[in-house]
Amino acid sequence: MRFIYIFLYSTTLISGLTVITSINAAEVLDPNKIVIEGDSLENKIDRKLKASGNALLKKGDKTIQADIIEYDQISDELYARGNIKLNANGSIITGTQMELSMDSNTGVIPNATFTTKLNNSSSSVFNNSIRGTASLLFIEGADKKKLENASITTCEADQDDWFINASEIEINERSKTVDATNATLEFKGVPVLFSPLVNFSFNDERKSGFLAPSIGTTSRSGFETSVPYYINLSPTSDATITPRYFSKRGLQIQGEYRYLDKNYSGISSAEILNSDEHASDTRRYLVKINHQHKLAKGLTGSARIEKVSDDNYFSDLESLISVTSQTSLPQELQLDYVNEDWNVNLITQKFQNLSTSSPYERLPSLSASYSKVKEGGLGLTQYETDLTLSITQFERNNDYIGTNNIEGTRFVAKPSITAPFERNYGYIIPKISMNLSSYDLDNSSVSSKKFAIPTMSLDSGVFIDREFKIGENNFTQTLEPRAFYTYTPYKDQSMLPMFDTGLLDLNQYSIFNENQFVGGDRVIDANQLTLAATTRFIDDTGTERLSGTLAQRFYISDRKVLNETQFANSVYRSDSTDLFMIAFARLNSSLTIDTELQYNPDEGSTNRATLSSNFSPEPGKLIDASYRLIRSPSGSINDLKQINIAGQWPIGKGYSTVGRYNYDIKKSGVVEALGGLSYDAGCWSSSILLHRLSLATTEKSNYTLFFQLELGGLGSLGTSKDSLADVLNRNVPGSYSSSDLPDKFRQDNFN
């Protein structure tokens, strides 16, 4: 026989006793009702109720089970002992006894074990709860718990791989934060880290405190470790201060300040290594300022300033090729104005040069562009007028040691008008433009010069398609021929400097340019016709299964302007360009093949080739292989021949491999290599990567060891997650870290 006691709070206390009823406590819907069940019920002096034997008390979504429950109806306090289990607000707490105030939801449970749902924004089944033990667990409201002599983890039950042990832990489920005092991280039973204060957050809210430390090693700087401290200054600004220690160099201090407002934003950072022990105790530093400011409607200003103490700063202290390959650091101020038709830019720009390269500085440069589309007549649907203007003062950097010291002011204007005839089956786009320029030069045999060079072009194309079937599959094949003609008369420009101008590399895109020079100092004479054709095979789902393009430019007359530059022996001197052949095939949903060839039919040689294939059947599985060939017109010694193999693949039991091998066949040397192994245990994951990078400043390569231990939901140790992601994304595009994989593929790899 089981008894159920139900009572309801109102202005007057009402109570009653019901025996052997079919009503279940879960079916009592009124959240103010309290239901007590037990094998036996005892009512003491009309205010206390005692349930013994499989006792249960329920109020709203709160359920308490115990061997014995005593409840005081007047004080609304509860005492329970024996096999305690409290289930409330996604938390389950067990213990030997409990005291609880039902009204204020405060109480204490000694020798407690608990599991608390995090209710974070992630939809993953991993790391969504915290569990642990405590000698004393204090309940301080519906969303807050304080633990003494506690251990917590996000691992599933019976997986005790890591714990945070602390003298005191506070869990705030409303703010989704955990604060721990005198905390020790224990991994596989071994203490690995101690901190007097630790704070973890399970949401995106910012909070001041220490971030996870970073650990790594490089062959040039030795063992390194950093401990960032994050400062939440305001809702719109923050700062990070990071001591970074190199075993071969000493202590470096890094600082970063970020701010974001309605009208301005920016990031400023600095790094100072006061005495580099590996470089004769030299003081080394890096300063970066990046600021954007909205001054008025359509008017914005910006500042970008970068400076380092010496030319070898990046190659000595950094590991990413995107950083170590920098040769010029900008120092510039800029104003931009944009409205419906105009785009105006004013910039003053200097450089700190880290190599023998010394580009001209713009002190200052004012440029503007205008574009307007208007309704047309005479069968034209519309026509477009464009105008670009610029006036620039070019000066040499103080570090320049060459003999070409020409400086001066250049004015360039290019008005144009385009009148397209477009239909769904094709198009004809005539265009007329004028290249106007004026120079005022110093240190030159010619002090001033003006030019007016017209250009006419005609672009045209046709769209043809047909439908056909292969077996049961429907396909559409397209044929897209294109013809592009350009004419520009010759003007002698040999007396002019080349401030910011170079010859564009010929490829399947630039072959349709009117001017093969980029920059404002040269306009190439052109009488040329470019022919191209593209065909595509598209299935009935809209997926492009196969495509191919052929393109070639034919020169009707010589390019005399080339004789006036260092490009006199360029491949542009021939009667036609190489034949460009591009092909793409999607063999299935996982495998693609890309081919780009630049073939010289006169010499029967391939001047450029890129062959690549990509196999990616699912997230976390990737194999990419490619071959690249570039023949240099200056001689075979400068040819480039490289193979690149990169990929990521799970090998089961939670393990996954990642790697890249970029080999220069011509130089018989490795350009860059990466190899790594990761392990995913669900509530934690670890990765170890070895990266080899050849440096332009020295023959000795730099080796970097990356290690990361990520504790599910509570941060990571070792290399920072952002740094590791940068290395992986650049070397193996499309790869995933274990914690970023969708649950299904993570679970499949556990098998």
Choose among 33, 10, 14, 11: nearest CA to 23: 33
pTM of the model: 0.79
Backbone angles phi, psi at 89, to 5 degrees: 50, 40
Q: Please give the Cα distance from 530 to 482 (Å, whole number).
A: 8
Residue 89 sits in a domain of what CATH number? 2.60.450.10
Run means of pLDDT, 10 residues per run, the chain, 751 residues: 60 35 44 84 81 90 92 89 90 93 90 82 73 94 90 88 94 84 92 84 74 81 88 93 92 95 95 88 92 95 95 81 77 95 95 84 95 70 88 88 86 95 92 96 90 96 93 92 97 91 85 92 94 95 94 91 71 79 94 94 87 96 95 69 96 94 91 93 91 75 86 77 84 89 88 76
Q: Please give the Cα distance from 119 to 173 (Å, whole number).
A: 8
Residue 550 confidence (pLDDT)? 96
Question: HEC profile for 496-561?
Answer: CCCCCCEECCCCCCHHHCCCCEECCCCCCCEEEEEEEEEEEEEECCCCEEEEEEEEEEEECCCCHH
Task: For residue 368, tell me if it sits in a domain.
Answer: no
Q: Please give the Cα distance from 81 to 151 (Å, whole number).
A: 23
> What are the tokens at 614?
């990509």
Task: For residue 177, tell me if it sits in a domain.
Answer: yes
- Is residue 96 within 8 Å of 108, Cβ to Cβ? no
Backbone angles phi, psi at 316, to 5 degrees: -85, -35
Strand ranges in 448-510 using DSSP code E only, listed in sequence order: 448-462, 464-470, 473-488, 502-503
Q: Which domain holds residue 172?
A: 3-206
Q: Please give the Cα distance from 667 to 515 (Å, whole number).
A: 35
Rounded to a whole number of angstroms, the CA Rg of the chain reads 36
Coil vs helix vs strand at 737: coil
Q: Which residues of 31-55 are buried (b: 16+ CB within 10 A; e: fewer)?
A: eeebbbbbeebeeeeeebbbbbeeb
Coil vs helix vs strand at 240: strand
Task: For residue 139, tell me if it sits in a domain.
Answer: yes
Torsion of CA 596, 601, 606, 611, to 10 degrees: 20
Residue 130 confidence (pLDDT)? 87
Question: HEC profile for 204-259?
Answer: CCCCCEECCCEEEEECCCEEEEECCEEEEEECCEEEEEEEEEECCCEEEEEEEEEE
If one counts the domains in the chain, the total is: 1
Residue 142 confidence (pLDDT)? 79
> What are the tokens at 475?
């396909």
Residue 22 confidence (pLDDT)? 38
Coil vs helix vs strand at 26: helix
Task: For residue 63, tell me if it sits in a domain.
Answer: yes
How many other C-beta atoms lie within 10 A of the C-beta of residue 553? 24
How many other C-beta atoms lie within 10 A of the C-beta of residue 473? 11
> What are the tokens at 378?
């005479």
What is the amino acid identity at position 292? Q
Task: For residue 10, tell me if it sits in a domain.
Answer: yes
Coil vs helix vs strand at 264: strand
Task: For residue 458, tell me if it sits in a domain.
Answer: no
Coil vs helix vs strand at 322: helix
Task: For residue 197, tell me if it sits in a domain.
Answer: yes
Task: For residue 501, tell me if it sits in a domain.
Answer: no
